[in-house]
Structure 1
Amino acid sequence: MSLIRALISTARMLRHTPRLADGLPPDDAVLLDAPDDRLAPALVTAALGEYEHAAKLLATTRESAEWENRDRYVVRLAAFAHNRDAWLGRWLAASPGDPDALVVKAELGVRRAWESPARVELLREMGPLIGAAAEGDPRDPVPWRIALDHARGTHAGHEDFETLWGEAVRRSSHHYGCHVAALQYLSAQWHGSHEECFDFAERAAEDALPGSLVKALPMRAAFSRMMGGDLTSVTAERIDAACDEAIRLSSVYVVGDPWPAEVRNLLAYVLVGRHQWDEALEQFRLIGPYATSFPWTSLTDDPLGQFLETRDGVRLQVASGMPLWNRTDGGRPRGHYA
């Protein structure tokens, strides 16, 4: 009997998997961490050693208080400067007090320190650099997001964390990057617990504005909990509720929107972990061509390959659960096991 079931499952996969590719970009069209139309020119010119495009871009985000975009661009520019920083050096030499250059410098310094075996010592040396970035524009929450990351790495106590968190939310009460940094600090892997992490995420999501990515914060807590294993039934219920909330958030955005791409990638990852294959396939369709390194780097050093492999695996799982025949298939009987 088990052999018959296996054969039928294989037949289902062979029959249905090809048509389940509808709405999914082909593998060679999927991009990893693709920049948006505003960031791309800044990265291209930075590769040529020029900083003017990056300076203009960040100045625009600061002057118009686009704090979410600013944070994303700072992270991407610092990541680029990690191996190619000549353009940033020229920028700082030309305008050493530029608040936009200083925040990229602070992000880069913290990023490099995090990757060092002497992480704690190097991070502690970054304090003045982060302080200078914060003083560059007192309205800007991004240096305080960097400070929260810094606090996690230097094992700062909860009292110091609360102070930094207060400064962050005073500048932007629903800033997604600051919320993610706080959630990481409060995770069981760092300085909190699974319960504390979930409580924080659920409160933040409840208070968040409609369409805000903060609505997906409980799903990030779910990811953290799943990475820790040993799920209880109560935790499983919270994870399912977090996924439901994230699915509602994802539905607000159009297919292939790069803005919620990381949230959708993470949601697909968590849904796969919960064996919710149909829901995961829907998220892969909504993701379109925008794969993101996180969360796939938690599994492999080849995030794009892992994304594509998982997407194919989900299609197979969905296909294996579909009826072998249906009433539109030439009147063929569906069979007892189909």
Structure 2
Amino acid sequence: MTRTEATLESDTKASPTLLWPLPHLRFSMVGTMPVPRAILAMARMLRHAPRLAAGLTPDDEVLLDAPDERLAPALVAAGRGDHGPAAKLLAASRESAEWENRDRYTVRLAAFARSRPEWFDLWTASSPYDPDVALVRAELAVRRGWESPARSELLRDVAPLVATAAEGNPGDPVPWRVALDHARGTGAPHEDFARLWSEAVRRSPHHYGCHTAALQYLSAAWYGSHRECFRFAELAAADALPGSLVQALPVRAALALLLDTDPGTGRAGEPPASGPVGRDRLEAAADLAIALSTAYEAGDPHPAEVRNVLTYVLVRLGRWQDALEQLRLIGPHATSFPWDRVSDDPLGQFLALRDGVRLQVASATPLRGGPGPGARKHSDTVDAHYS
């Protein structure tokens, strides 16, 4: 029994419980139900919640941003001061043009170099002209600039490092993803960003990292709008290769819109009733991401962030069954994004959300029946079975 279930069981003797696994998402409607329905919902939760845990990775086995089997040894070696495995990993990704992996590995190695710089300093000293060193150095400098109060000024100062990374391996799209992030931070005008975007897609037309960088630039939070963001995402997804994570761009656009919703009105199952993007497009974005998710094995780390983003969106749409299925597919791979956008404890937030979704599905399952409302049933159907 989870802590949430234990609290629920004890509270049934007192008053109905409101569950808030996300600060602005209410997972239980018990507090707003007539008393008979509230009692029935509690009974359903207590009866069905334990079996709905089947297929979910135990809480103590879920890891936040766990590295894959290739990156993990490189990080362990770097922690011991040995840059060799990291150098081999990035060299292999460059030589085999594994641009998606190269991008992910660069981000993780740069983050590690920021907290544990010794190994990277040794690598830089021993191979100052290595294109992989140049790439990690550029990513590290841009990340530092982004996190500084003097962001624009610092980012302008590191522009030569980004240019050096791009020149070091002319066919590599990853330095251009770094350049796109750099341009967003410096407030580059649309025409300058478009030039960088053209260089990026010329090297890899379907590179996910470059597409997400462009999506951020076009978002309402930066230099675009929700309409512009969705239009870009939908066009890119329609043009994407089968199984490409670019097909998840619309659900990322949906996430941006939902995170921008006033927390006072952003309850689970209640996305904006009106706004720049209709609910039908949010639903279509979720459906496309679900189809993409099914193309990968359960517990695969490659689509883990997409599945975490999709889960958030499904919860906001009130699609509890679909959300529970994605939580099973995520397995042990919780990711900081998007949970760090709503909590200072992303892993705790993820685990609490799992409990909340499971209890919500349980409350919609008839006491004597099988599954509750179908995947496309929304929060207004949770009380449909009043028996």
Query: What residue number does 2:301 align with?
Result: 258
Query: What residue number does 1:107 align with?
Result: 139
- Among residues 109, 126, 146, which one is paired with 2:178 in the alignment? 146
* CA distance in 1: counterparts of 2:327 and 2:218, whole angstroms: 29
Query: What residue number does 1:294 align with?
Result: 337
2:44 aligned with 1:12, yes or no? yes
Moved more, 225-234 or 27-36: 225-234
| Greater helix fraction, Structure 1 or Structure 2 | 1
Q: What amino acid is the match of 2:79?
A: A
2:123 aligned with 1:123, yes or no? no
Query: What residue number does 1:236 align with?
Result: 279
* Structure 1 residue 324, shift from structure 2 partner: 1.1
2:386 aligned with 1:337, yes or no? yes
2:252 aligned with 1:203, yes or no? no
Structure 2 counterparts to residues 267-306 of structure 1, below 5 A: 267-306=310-349
Matched position secondary structure for 1:316: helix
Query: What residue number does 2:376 align with?
Result: none
Matched position secondary structure for 2:115: coil
* Structure 1 residue 337, shift from structure 2 partner: 2.3
Q: Residue deviations 1:274-301, cap 9 Å, x none?
A: 1111110000001111100000000111
* Structure 1 residue 12, shift from structure 2 partner: 0.2
Aligned-residue identity in percent: 67
* Structure 1 residue 121, shift from structure 2 partner: 0.5
Query: What residue number does 2:210 align with?
Result: 178
Query: What residue number does 1:193 align with?
Result: 225
* Structure 1 residue 137, shift from structure 2 partner: 0.4
TM-score, normalised relative to structure 1: 0.96
Q: What amino acid is the match of 1:313?
A: G
* Structure 1 residue 49, shift from structure 2 partner: 1.2
- Among residues 333, 340, 359, which one is paired with 1:316 in the alignment? 359
TM-score, normalised relative to structure 2: 0.84
* CA distance in 2: counterparts of 1:16 and 1:149, whole angstroms: 46
Matched position secondary structure for 2:361: helix
Moved more, 230-239 or 171-180: 230-239
- Structure 1 segments (4+ residues) deviating >4 Å: none
* CA distance in 1: counterparts of 2:198 and 2:324, whole angstroms: 39
* CA distance in 2: counterparts of 1:235 and 1:29, whole angstroms: 38
* CA distance in 1: counterparts of 2:364 and 2:243, whole angstroms: 33
Q: What amino acid is the match of 1:227?
A: L
2:127 aligned with 1:95, yes or no? yes
- For structure 2, the residue ranges without an aligned partner over 5 or more in a row are 1-32, 263-271, 371-384
- Among residues 99, 120, 128, which one is paired with 1:67 in the alignment? 99
Matched position secondary structure for 1:54: helix
Query: What residue number does 1:326 align with?
Result: 369
Query: What residue number does 2:8 align with?
Result: none
* CA distance in 2: counterparts of 1:302 and 1:326, whole angstroms: 36
Q: What amino acid is the match of 1:337?
A: Y
* CA distance in 1: counterparts of 2:140 and 2:206, whole angstroms: 24
* CA distance in 1: counterparts of 2:233 and 2:157, whole angstroms: 30
- For structure 1, the residue ranges without an aligned partner over 5 or more in a row are 328-335
